[in-house]
Structure 1
Amino acid sequence: MIHLEMNQAALVNTRFAISPLSTTVGALYLLRSDAPPVGGGWRHLIRETVHDRQLWLLKALFSGSWDYVPDFLTPQPDAPEAAWAEEAHTVATTCSERLCWELQIMAQGITDEGLAGRPTPTILRRALERGERDFAGDIATELHQLWESALAPRWPALRARMEADIALRARTAAHHGLSGMLAGLHPRVAWNDDRLSLVTRFQAQIPGSTSLVLTPSVFAADLHMVIDPTGGPTPRQPMLTYPVLHGPDTPASPAAHALLGVTRARLLSDLHAARTTAELSERHFLAPSTVSYHLGILHRTGLLTRTRTGHRILYQQTPRAADLLADSPQAR
């Protein structure tokens, strides 16, 4: 379990940011053999681009079964939407101390926090022998090539999905408070006692945070938290990357209607934002008992999350449900 202490300052400074670089790094996780399926041919596109452009450092970093991938690849955005050039420059100018420290964690792990290490691939060791500055520059160059070839041409559609998701989260916060929005980000996020908890096999206690940056991801099926383990140089404030939901007007696909039935498909489609049984009953002109019956089935099949906030129970789509409902991939 990872616990992030959220005092008043951290709550006040919680913000969303869209990051082209974090999106690019998120796409690189599709290189892993255990990566979840993503529509639109993205996995093939990323793998083909990495091979054709000979992005061997990125392949070595992301195709292994690492518990930890260096966080210098995803610097914290300073603005609501970061500029690619500024983010890439931050990567290229990463200080040697931080770069070596993070690569050491990747290779050796941290026993107390449950991070397992893996032998460093030869290509990474040889690149490091040329010096940390050159290594960071080479990584930034490869990231730029992947961005220009695979993501930049499709960025307007990707950005639109993230903007729509942020709008949905803002609406949830307006109706259910910031704690309700945070708890609804993902089934593995819990909020209690001024503390944000991530249900995971890793162990960490993050005290003294003064801010939290939330970055939506169109590629992730799970959470990714950028935090500094104990003893890191120039500690960073935490950043949480979470999977986006589909927009509010995303219709249920014919396949979803056939598989779920019309009523359940419509209810599931409406749960792009967290809602209660009573809200769904009013919106769809159904008896509360009928809504509860359908929600129970959808929850048991893993298509809904269920979160208690005070006396209210909120239901929301899972990424699996969003994929089922999509008539065609949103990002092409």
Structure 2
Amino acid sequence: MSEAVFALHRFGRDRARSGVGWHKVVRERLGDDLPAIDEVVSEHRVIPDLLWLLERDGADADSVPSAVRAQARRLSQVVFLFCSAGVLPYWSRLQGRLETERDMRGRMVITNGIESLLASLHPKVTWESSELRVASSVDLDIELDGRGLILSPSVFLPDKTCVLVRSERQSGVPALVFSTPLDLSDLESPAEQSEDEGDRALAALVGATRAAALRALSESGTTGDLSERLGISLSGASKQATVLREAGLITTVRHRTTATHTLTPLGLALLQGALPAELSRALSKPPGPDTPQVGELQGNPKSHG
């Protein structure tokens, strides 16, 4: 959703490109929802006007007037609609780009220390005398007081932009978002089309809902996370996790009342379209008394967690 806010900013800012590439495809996907998107980008500067969507202290607090809460809900819905059209269809590719950036920054810390990382984040960011300074027209000081700082790359933030979120919604920790810009024309390349074909093949292999659940767990998550990512009930998410676990595609670790699910190497291979032909044929067959199960093909007993 944070990338959706930044993508919406990019979408509204680059109106001259509305007839080509990513902009054109997104407008076509939005269909009847396009006027609502255009209205929001016309009435608001997405950055900074909608950054409160990313903050823990949102506009749905009891102390906020009901009219303001209604407006906040409407804006949230519009951003979610845009996320579905402009971000989610490309998420596997975008996630790979963000993970590469994260790994590169991690190696930088190991090799040269945290000061080197902070000093190299962005042209507008400087690290001096234990202070991280962001060039901005807004005068704002944040004392971390031991809370730490989330450093988050964004592929949709324009090249000369970085954003400070005072209290990130999930953790409550301040977050500095810096750009690792992507040429949006790359999103409609043949590679992206082949990813779409892979998604369709995965859905044909295990079913659309289970394919979506498998993709949702490309980053490990709890049953609650899976429920939120898929927009289904907790019981439904639990059932999907059980099916994937019994197929050997995820593992589940329980801590008290929380179950955390992670892809197995087999689940990752299936998600990436790298399964051996034998496994693909077995998975695509209707289950029957003689149909080998994934766990049996691995040579391992099925795990029931």
TM normalised by structure 1 equals 0.46
Pick 1 or 2: higher relative contact order, CA cutoff 8 A, min separation 6. Answer: 1
TM normalised by structure 2 equals 0.49
Which has the larger helix fraction? 2
